[in-house]
Structure 1
Amino acid sequence: MPPKRRAVASSSVRPAKRPSKLAKENNITADQEANIREAFGLFAVQHPDYPDAKEGVLKVEDVRRCLIALDLPPAPSSLPSILSTIDPLSSGFVPLAPFLSYSALAIHSKSESESDDDVSPRTTYTHDTEVRAAYTLFTHGGPGPITLSHLRRVAKELREEVPDNVLRDMILEANGGIEGTGNTGTVGLEEFEEVMRRAGVFG
């Protein structure tokens, strides 16, 4: 007796995609992550300085094209600060994680802007998104504040050997010298934005 056609059809139904850890950290769906990865893959190249980046890396000149492919076109005037956010060492290349984090923030900001007729999507996208995206890169997708362990992780990802005393000084300089638990302190979003303004990253 031949198998029932209905049983075959039901077995071919694909289960819903589950968001990865990276997607969860950036509060995006599995489909949104897939779109970002697909766009990233269109422009990504392999580079010997990033042997562990199996997805490849973006050349900075391709970042704008990749964002356009995601329907997240940045204003030309905002591009320098975007690149400063996702390529803080000016290496000329951007791995997937920082690009995905920025894209996720841009998606959220665009969604919020489109649901609010009184807010200009372009204005919100070009400033608030940049600040929050940069902040989120330090907090690894969390709400903050930035802690010593966050800075250690960023330094490790950037392949920089930075002593803890230097990282502590960076925190104290950012938060106005306010020490916290363990004589370290933390950096909130407003303090982070002020540091970026002083550094000339944000206008």
Structure 2
Amino acid sequence: MSSINFIVRVYRFAPKRRAAAPTAAPKPRLTKLAKEKNISNDQEAEIRDAFGLFAVTGIKGYAKEKEGVIKSEDVRRCLVALGVNVKNSDLPDILETLDPEETGYVPYGPFLSLAAIHLHHNDDEDEDQSEEVQEAYYLFTDNREGPITLAHLRRIARLLKEDISDDTLRDMLVEANGEGKEGWRRGVDIEAFEGVMKRAGVFG
């Protein structure tokens, strides 16, 4: 039995437990715009920086826009700079929302609103997967900090009533962490564990 098969079996059949939430550090006070758009200060700064890469000033009718404006043709590139992939088929609807008067320019405010929605959506997906990875990892470590060790695999094998030798369990650890023959002593940290789960197709 490979480490992937063993881990997937545990993940699919063992009772799941919600990982205990770590004590969070105090969050900095949100800026007005970040609070309005339900994003972090860092995300707002990231959006502002990306917008600034393409912003132009001195455009007639936009004198009050202190951040400047971007050309409608640069909206897609600005979103890509933020790591937001936009399908060509979606672009006309986006431009209609951002530039309904078809002036050829987009102010910072509307762009911020759109970018915030996309970043918030991406964060939700990342957070969901992160929680799922941690939840699955803690099945092995009995809700304790890692790494996953030989003792953890022995316990899981007993729970599943699997007769697996220590040599096989060591091989599983080595396969999971990629450390070589004696790598089983290091165990499997959560990053290596996530890699195994992705290779198994459990996570995208």
Q: Taking structure 2 as the reference length, what is the TM-score of the superposition?
A: 0.47
Which structure ranks higher in relative contact order (CA pairs < 8 Å, sequence separation ≥ 6)? Answer: 2
What's the TM-score once normalised by structure 1's chain length?
0.47
| The structure with more radius of gyration | 2
